[in-house]
Amino acid sequence: MRVESSIPISFPFEIISANDRSALQPILNRMFKNSLASPFGGTPILGDEAGWGTEFFELHKSSIFMNLTESTQKSVLKSCSDANIEEAMFIEVAGMTFSSKMSLLAQNLNERELYCRFGADEAHHFRQLQMVLGELNLKKAYQSSFLKFLGNLIQTESRVPLILLIQVLLEGWGIHYYSTLSENTSYSEVKKIFNSIVADEASHHGSGIILFREALTNPNEEIRMAEAVGELLSMVRLGPAGILTHLYKANGGMTLNEISHFLDEVNFQEKINRDLEILKHLLTKAKAIRIIEKLERQGLFSIPSVRGCASLLSNLLGVS
Ligand SMILES: [Fe+2]
Ligand SMILES: [Fe+2]
């Protein structure tokens, strides 16, 4: 264990699962309703519809997608759209665990208050997203390498690396990502929800920048931070893996050449370049210069080749 606290921290998606149907639900529902300006009904806002259109996922540029039947296209869109909200919900669950742990590790009263409020925000965000999509299947977290990575970080890392990885990078990334989701949905209630989440995440991220800049790190933490950021960059460099997975299933499989062609069609290099620039900008804001230099030397900020990315994705999908 790397934690400075002797209190054991459960894997974020484990502890919630155990209490999912507890007798606390009615009280939690009431607390959530009381905190909203207007009451909400019990049915998810999106129902059977996708919250984002073909252009948002750039699927209109994919010849394989355009050749699918209309109903298959609709189900691919719905899967991609639900995956957006599901991932966001898991991140909020992880955020609740993160803030609880950080509250225990706080170095002064202000910091402890910050993380207690932070946790309340994440619980509220989770409920807001539940209004959009409905119940979350927690077992799905174990199928996502990103969520496993995130859960392990929260469970095992110490205070300063967590500030950098969660508050500076993931919360900062979340601001960009949630803003894009808000700008591109035609559902006004969904837009409102993402806008209010972004406003909270801005404080979470901003406090992370302040805390990280004044933090002292030891050489071991520096090594672990660079490794973890490197792992995150490697996942980003895979490009639209989630969208491709849904398309792959709907199409009944794809060859390596078809995957390469898909990546070309959707300009994946442009998107990856944009995402890598965002992460580099966030690290620069936190003055994590040594980490940037190390990762640059490893070539992790460079744009991967289409063929290289296609073969990594083929391996993940089990293309023979
Ligand atoms: Fe959140
Ligand atoms: Fe947050």
201 CA → ligand 1 middle, Å: 6
What is the pLDDT, as a whole number, of residue 3? 47
What is the pLDDT, as a whole number, of residue 25? 73
What is the pLDDT, as a whole number, of residue 239? 85
What is the pLDDT, as a whole number, of residue 21? 60
What is the pLDDT, as a whole number, of residue 35? 72
96 CA → ligand 1 middle, Å: 8
What is the pLDDT, as a whole number, of residue 27? 74
Going residue by residue through the chain (320 aa), what tens digit of pLDDT does each one get?
454 556 677 777 775 554 556 666 777 677 677 676 544 557 889 999 999 999 999 999 999 999 999 999 999 999 999 999 999 999 999 999 999 999 999 988 889 999 999 999 999 999 999 999 988 877 777 788 999 999 999 999 999 999 999 999 999 999 999 999 999 999 999 999 999 999 999 999 999 999 999 898 899 999 999 999 999 999 999 988 999 999 999 999 999 999 999 999 999 999 999 999 999 999 999 999 999 999 999 999 999 999 999 999 999 898 87
* Ligand positioned closest to the Cα atom of 128: 1
* Ligand positioned closest to the Cα atom of 117: 2
50 CA → ligand 2 middle, Å: 25
The CATH class, in words, for 82-215 is: mainly alpha
120 CA → ligand 1 middle, Å: 9
Instruction: Provide the whole-model pTM.
Output: 0.89
Q: Which two tokens stand for residue 158?
A: 């110490």
Domain locations in the chain?
Answer: 82-215, 217-320
127 CA → ligand 1 middle, Å: 10
What is the pLDDT, as a whole number, of residue 49? 94
What is the pLDDT, as a whole number, of residue 139? 73
